[in-house]
Structure 1
Amino acid sequence: MTPAIPFQRSDLQAYLWQSLQLFNLYRIILAIGFVSLIKFNLDAQFFGIVDRSLYQQASLFYFCASLVFLVCSLLFKRSYDWQANVPIFIDVVALIVLMHATGGVISGVGILLIVIAAGHSLLFPGKYSLLSAASAAILLFYEHSYNLLTEKVTINTYTQVGLLGCAILVTSIVTNILSLRARRNQQLVESQAQQLATSQQLNAHIISAMHDGVLVFDQRYHIRLINVAARTLLELQDFPKHDTLYDLPVTFQQCFAKWLKEQKNSIILQLRPGGPELRLNFYPLGKGLPSGTLVFLNDIESETRRAQDLKLASLGHLTANIAHELRNPLGTVSHAAQLLAESQMLIPEDQQLVNMIKQHCNRMNTVIQNVLSLSGRKPARTEKIALVPWLQQFIKDLSIQNIGAPKITLTADKNDLQVNVDPSQLTQILINLCENGLRYSFKKHGQASLILRVFLSESPPMIILDVIDDGEGISTEVAKHIFEPFFSTENNGSGLGLYIAKELSQMNGTRLDYVSTHHQDGSQFRLTFPKGEANT
């Protein structure tokens, strides 16, 4: 026996078995009702029993059969199509026999066949439910014709039999149509629910893998979604409980309140002094009355670096080729200038011109080296170094052209601070910072001086290295662009020094920032070694 609709989903099968158990429960209650009339001698009063013996036997048989059907549906959940169809035909036969024992169609027992036909169409819509309804109508006519032949009823009662038979067939057909439509709708809903669950799972994976932070709040400011990037940007790794807006950093709450007040979608957030700047983009969810808020968190430094990387990627290959092509003639010119400088016949004016050629050759060679280092950067080879002794040796070895003997002061809270860096790359970073600082200090005062300050930040625990000069300083507008490639305020500058220093610091897991010094002259650059590097 093949079911009308294939039942493949476990939840649909559970629903069908539950419906069958409820119908079996109705069947046994009905059988108990028939048996109770015998027990309390009320059968004659209700139906006007014509054949009491047949009524008793049919009632007891129907009760036992109903009990078996209920037990099977509860304990043996196999062969649903058999358990849903075979008992229905037994219902039809038992009710026809009970109707015959109680005087035929006039007893009203036949009306119960309508319920049986409707239940069969709901449990198993299709040809078998239509067959059971047709069988019930045919048996009605057969039973009534038998009663007519035995002169138990009159011929004018055929109208009632015909109406009851039509009611059974119409009920079965209509219920079949509705049941089939309900099944299709249920399958469609389940398919859509499965697609929705798949989409939600896919979205969850995508959001979790996003580099940008994502936060979703409901209308009561409970956090409904937060991805890994948002936890990292908001520094929530050490705070497992963050269920509401009020569990997040106070600075973020202030930005949220500012957005609610001003409805300004984009707001800049800095969790702590010297920390990374975040761009918060707020979007209300729902139409009409807001049902929540979506917040995107973007690391401004990462955005800027990606833009710069794209810019350099487009120029890198071209500039590298140009640099290689320039190196050969530049080497020839530099070598010729050196040979010319050794000549004893040069007058002082020509010697000055030769020195200018050598100076600009060195400058062009420096630019070429910087361009080549950008196009072929190597990964950092970090090792643990004692920072203060390493800086003391760095100061001894530092030599800046055209400055003379610079005055460099080193101050440190502790002498045993250790960091994990690539020493050669840290040297390149500090040479760039110190050379700029000493040059601007010499330009302003005629004496180059610089301060290197090392200290340990307690909250959060980080090692800080400040490079401070007493030069002219950097304006606020210029400070926004100093780490951009090819940006320079001098005509003879390449605009790559600070950019390379920034890139090298990031390769070593450190941060290089410019610290505003509104209260004093000069410039201050800060190298921050993050948490986990502050070993003492």
Structure 2
Amino acid sequence: MASTPRKPANPSPQRRELYFFTLYRVLEACLLALVAFSPAGEFLLQIREPAMLQTIVVLYMVAAISLLIAGYRSELSAARQAGIGLAIDILVAALVLATTSGSQGGVALLLLFNVGAGALILPQKAGLGFAGAACAVVLADSLYLRAIASESARPLAESVMFSVTYLATAVLCELLSRQVLESQALAEQRGEELANQAEINELVIRRMRTGILVVDGEHLVKVCNEAAWGLLGKPSPDRRQLADIAMPLHRALLTWRQGRGETPKAMTLGDGTPEVLPRFVSLSLTDNLFLIFLDDSRVFSDRAEELTLATLGRLSASIAHEIRNPLAAIMYSVQLLEEATELPEADKRLLEIIHTQCHRMNGIVQDILGLARRERSQPESIDISQFARRFVDEYRASHPLETDILQSVSERSVLAMADPRHLHQVLTILVQNALTYGRMPGEPAKVTVSVRTAPPGAPPELNVIDRGPGIPPAVASQIFTPFYTTSEHGTGLGLYIAQQLCEANQCTLSYQPVPGGGSCFRIILPPGMTLMKDEASPGRLNLA
């Protein structure tokens, strides 16, 4: 079964104008019916052909009702329906003028609205054409009456004025229709832009890391983004009252609305949720909408820590640079004094202490400068097994270990992506710490640099393991904090610099306790890639 066309939910302006046009036509038909079928019609007009007039009025009433129904159900365009209706109006006006006497003024006035309404819907040429047809009907009737009964005919100037009015009305209504269509197109464009902007705003608000709530004057939640929902403890969507969701926030908002000057305090809004710092903003002058920002206090702590570390790093680098010059002079003077032949043993011991402490201070200065002047990483694919063996050999050659043991363990070649300079610096820090602190009292240190063979698809691991006393859990949670140290000879920057260098190379550095005693610092590196030829197919390349 074919579906019946229905009136659109949002009719266009032309459809609305067509509806009122057809409704006015029904009213005209009713007025003509009153004249044709009522005894009062004889007092209003001189009807020459009553039967014909009644037939014309009945047909016009049927046509008017049919056009009114067609405006809802017909698939014809509004302009086509308006053209058909206006042609019928002009034809009926001509027939009414032909069957009556003294009705020219009334019929012409009724026809004026039809011409104007048609010009609003029809194109310019069609509107002017129908206006010209209406002019022709009025002028023809005037000339006809003047020809058969000049004494009862209306002045010709009246018909001319009606004709000019029809044409002027058609032009003005067409211009008005054009402006209406342009305004509608502009309104639709602006509406689409506003809808898009509203969708973008909703998406941005929903994805913001800052929690956002919008509540009304009764503290009913209107908008809640994902971050706020998580900070509130993920309440049920059915709970919309702020007092039911977060009573502390409800009270803080009431206090803020009363005082308008008190700064809200940090609070916890749900079980297992972080502490938040609320901020309130009024969205209207009538206090009907309020915007609540929920900031995670950890973000402020992290930002404050970053600013503190950045400032401290710049200050430390400046101080270290100023210390390095007099330190170099002291070390050079110590070297000159050590070359003296007649120097008591006690003085030699003092010079040795000065020389050792100068080297320690120089190491501190280098750590601080390395923290402040860290270069960008330039990762490349390296064989970390070979790199670890070469590092151990170089470290043994440049650092006398005496009874301490430093060895490397690797099963096969393992490729990883890292900056060799940064990785060398990280291993130097970890090995020095292991040799210094990773030993049992009275025993030599045993440090192993091992490369763990990773299964296919897993990232490679580089471990620095010692057999010392290990690190207590309370201390292990803070060993990567800058300037934190449990040794009176340390700076607390070594492990922090190592972790920063690892992060610059997209690596992770973590501490792992060793069962049975000892410490393990594990570096997880991104896997490396290389192209090598397949022995079976010399022309084929495989990715390893």
Whether TM exceeds 0.5 here: the answer is yes
Given the alignment, which residue of 62, 73, 76 partners 1:75? 73
Counterpart of 2:290? 293
Q: Secondary structure at the match of 2:236?
A: coil
| CA distance in 1 between partners of 2:273 and 2:64 (Å) | 76
Instruction: Indicate if the aligned counterparts of 2:37 and 2:54 stay in contact, CA closer than 8 A.
Output: no
Matches within 5 A, 1:103-502: 103-106=101-104, 108-124=106-122, 126-151=124-149, 154-232=152-230, 234-264=231-261, 266-271=263-268, 276-287=274-285, 289-306=286-303, 308=305, 431=471, 434-435=474-475, 485-486=482-483, 494=491
Instruction: Indicate if the aligned counterparts of 1:255 and 1:269 stay in contact, CA closer than 8 A.
Output: no
Q: Secondary structure at the match of 1:187?
A: helix
Q: Secondary structure at the match of 2:293?
A: strand
| CA distance in 1 between partners of 2:138 and 2:168 (Å) | 15
Instruction: Indicate if the aligned counterparts of 1:58 and 1:94 stay in contact, CA closer than 8 A.
Output: yes
Q: Secondary structure at the match of 2:251?
A: helix
Structure 1 residues 435 and 141: alpha-carbon distance in aligned structure 2, compared to 1, 3 A threshold: closer
| CA distance in 2 between partners of 1:372 and 1:182 (Å) | 71
Match for 1:300: what amino acid?
Answer: S
Q: Secondary structure at the match of 1:108?
A: helix
Q: Secondary structure at the match of 1:269?
A: coil
Counterpart of 1:414? none
Structure 1 residues 298 and 236: alpha-carbon distance in aligned structure 2, compared to 1, 3 A threshold: same
| CA distance in 2 between partners of 1:362 and 1:241 (Å) | 65
Deviation (angstroms), 1:112: 0.6
| CA distance in 2 between partners of 1:497 and 1:245 (Å) | 49
Deviation (angstroms), 1:130: 3.0
Deviation (angstroms), 1:91: 0.9
Instruction: Indicate if the aligned counterparts of 2:45 and 2:103 stay in contact, CA closer than 8 A.
Output: no
More displaced, 38-47 or 249-258? Answer: 38-47
Structure 1 residues 285 and 487: alpha-carbon distance in aligned structure 2, compared to 1, 3 A threshold: farther
Q: Secondary structure at the match of 1:239?
A: coil
Structure 1 residues 364 and 243: alpha-carbon distance in aligned structure 2, compared to 1, 3 A threshold: farther
| CA distance in 2 between partners of 1:95 and 1:74 (Å) | 26
| CA distance in 1 between partners of 2:493 and 2:158 (Å) | 103
Instruction: Indicate if the aligned counterparts of 1:35 and 1:60 stay in contact, CA closer than 8 A.
Output: yes
| CA distance in 1 between partners of 2:101 and 2:17 (Å) | 33
Deviation (angstroms), 1:483: 10
Deviation (angstroms), 1:146: 1.0
Structure 1 residues 104 and 40: alpha-carbon distance in aligned structure 2, compared to 1, 3 A threshold: closer
Instruction: Indicate if the aligned counterparts of 1:218 and 1:292 stay in contact, CA closer than 8 A.
Output: yes
- 1:178-217: per-residue Cα shift (whole Å, max 9, x none)? 3333332232222222211111111111111111111222
Q: Secondary structure at the match of 2:132?
A: helix
Given the alignment, which residue of 87, 92, 98 partners 1:100? 98
Counterpart of 1:57? 55
Instruction: Indicate if the aligned counterparts of 1:268 and 1:277 stay in contact, CA closer than 8 A.
Output: no
Whichever of the two has the greater Rg, that structure is 2
Task: Give ranges in structure 1 of 5+ residues lacking alignment.
Answer: 1-9, 323-346, 377-398, 405-423, 425-429, 437-464, 468-481, 509-536
Match for 2:122: what amino acid?
Answer: F
| CA distance in 2 between partners of 1:489 and 1:167 (Å) | 102
Deviation (angstroms), 1:358: 8.8
Task: Give ranges in structure 2 of 5+ residues lacking alignment.
Answer: 1-7, 321-344, 377-435, 442-462, 464-469, 509-544
TM-score by length of 2: 0.57
Deviation (angstroms), 1:229: 0.7
TM-score by length of 1: 0.57
Match for 1:149: what amino acid?
Answer: A
Q: Secondary structure at the match of 2:266?
A: strand
Cα RMSD after superposing both structures? 5.3
Question: Post-superposition, which runs of at least 4 consecutive aligned residues in structure 1 deviate over 6 A?
Answer: 310-316, 347-376, 399-404, 487-491, 497-500
| CA distance in 1 between partners of 2:493 and 2:248 (Å) | 34
Structure 1 residues 354 and 253: alpha-carbon distance in aligned structure 2, compared to 1, 3 A threshold: farther
Deviation (angstroms), 1:136: 1.1
Q: Secondary structure at the match of 1:268?
A: coil
Instruction: Indicate whether 1:21 and 2:25 are aligned.
Output: no
Structure 1 residues 215 and 489: alpha-carbon distance in aligned structure 2, compared to 1, 3 A threshold: farther
- 1:408-464: per-residue Cα shift (whole Å, max 9, x none)? xxxxxxxxxxxxxxxx9xxxxx9365349xxxxxxxxxxxxxxxxxxxxxxxxxxxx
Q: Secondary structure at the match of 1:169?
A: helix
Instruction: Indicate if the aligned counterparts of 1:96 and 1:110 stay in contact, CA closer than 8 A.
Output: no
Q: Secondary structure at the match of 1:34?
A: helix
> Structure 1 vs Structure 2: percent identity of aligned residues?
22
Instruction: Indicate if the aligned counterparts of 1:27 and 1:66 stay in contact, CA closer than 8 A.
Output: yes
Counterpart of 2:42? 44
